[in-house]
């Protein structure tokens, strides 16, 4: 079956519009039953051209303000209710390429979510946060395609791990999940394997890597639903056009950012050389003054 590559924002958005898929996606990673879910895509529209800027982040903002091609940058906020009756806020972010600005963007976005209250049953509440990062690049230190970074409560006096959780602590700290799509293999055994299989970056139908062949058995109803959505997106001409627009815009932005970074690095090199020359001159002047003082 031919399916669209879900690493693209416009494709992933189609999956997040299906409640059954969202419950399966979040529930499988959290290893919890999700009985209710509400997803709110956070849409950012870009356009821009490269201008002189003080830093990479400002340069990217200028690019996205004036670029002639419009494209979404989507982050997803899901409010979920687990089988135990607990409410959580799940932040889902997709990043296809690695840019120096992305880490700060993630941190700033996370900080904004910590400041916001949520509404549950018409009541303002502060929810615990869980983050899910889907990366289109690899972390060299981590070989696993999917990891969970979790917290333990450690009694430093008795050197033991506490089983009791605190609402105060839970709302100030969070668990994190990281999916590296480039490290996903053809393993297809567990429920998690079957979820990750749709993100596998292999068996593409062309060099654009927009669509690929899904060769696994559809023995899980949720995976069947996902592949049906992705098949439609990958074969419908209008949907594919949206993916191509996003792809071209990303490539242009990445190329312009790379060019700007190279120019910035070259300027830093020149400045460092100038500073070194100044330091050498200062040292020479200091030595001359020292000799003059000795002669006096």
Task: Compute the distance between CA of residue 197 and CA of residue 214 in angstroms, rounded to an integer.
Answer: 8
Using the predicted structure, report yes or no on whether residue 235 has a pLDDT greater than 60. yes
- 85 DSSP assignment: S
Query: Cα(116)–Cα(126) distance, rounded to whole angstroms?
Result: 8
Residues 6+ apart with CB under 8 A from 165: 153
Question: Could you give the CA distance from residue 179 to residue 201 in angstroms, rounded to a whole number?
Answer: 12
Comparing 58 with 49, the larger pLDDT belongs to: 58
Tokens encoding 243:
């993916």
Q: Is 179 left (phi over 0), alpha (psi -120 to 50) or beta?
A: beta
Reported as a single tens digit per residue, the pLDDT across 137-173 is: 999 999 999 999 999 999 999 999 999 999 999 999 9
pLDDT in tens, 79-129: 999 998 999 999 998 887 666 566 777 888 888 889 888 888 889 999 999
Count of helix runs (H) and strand runs (E) in the chain: 8, 12
- Residue 48 backbone class (left: φ over 0; alpha: ψ -120 to 50; beta: rest): left
| Residue 203 zone, left/alpha/beta (φ > 0; ψ -120 to 50; rest) | left
- Supply the DSSP symbol for 204: B
Report how far Cα 266 is from the mean position of its chain's Cα atoms.
29
SS3 call for 165: coil
In the structure encoding, which two tokens stand for residue 95, read together?
């990043």
| pTM of the predicted protein model | 0.76
């Amino acid at each position: 079956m031919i399916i669209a590559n879900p690493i693209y924002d416009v494709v992933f958005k189609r999956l997040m519009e299906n409640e059954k898929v969202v419950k399966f996606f979040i529930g499988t990673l959290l290893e919890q039953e999700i009985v209710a879910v509400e997803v709110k895509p956070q849409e950012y529209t870009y356009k821009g051209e490269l201008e002189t800027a003080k830093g990479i982040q400002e340069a990217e903002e200028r690019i996205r303000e004036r670029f002639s091609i419009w494209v979404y940058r989507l982050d997803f906020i899901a409010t979920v209710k687990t089988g135990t009756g607990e409410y959580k806020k799940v932040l889902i972010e997709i990043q296809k390429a690695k840019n120096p600005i992305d880490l700060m963007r993630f941190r700033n976005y996370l900080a904004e979510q910590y400041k916001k209250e949520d509404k549950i049953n018409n009541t303002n509440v502060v929810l615990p946060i869980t983050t899910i990062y889907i990366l289109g690049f690899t972390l060299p230190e981590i070989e696993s395609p999917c990891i969970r970074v979790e917290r333990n409560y450690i009694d430093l006096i008795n050197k033991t791990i506490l089983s009791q959780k605190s609402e105060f602590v839970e709302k100030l700290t969070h668990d994190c999940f990281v999916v590296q799509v480039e490290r996903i293999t053809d393993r297809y055994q567990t429920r998690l394997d079957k979820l990750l299989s749709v993100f596998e970056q292999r068996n593409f139908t062309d060099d654009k890597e927009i669509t690929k062949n899904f060769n696994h058995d559809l023995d899980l109803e949720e995976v069947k639903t996902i592949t049906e959505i992705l098949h439609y997106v990958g074969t419908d001409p209008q949907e594919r056009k949206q993916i191509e627009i996003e792809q071209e815009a990303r490539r242009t932005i990445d190329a312009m950012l790379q060019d700007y970074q190279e120019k910035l690095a070259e300027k830093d090199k020149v400045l460092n050389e100038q500073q070194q020359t100044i330091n050498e001159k200062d040292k020479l002047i200091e030595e001359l003054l020292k000799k003059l003082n000795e002669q006096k």
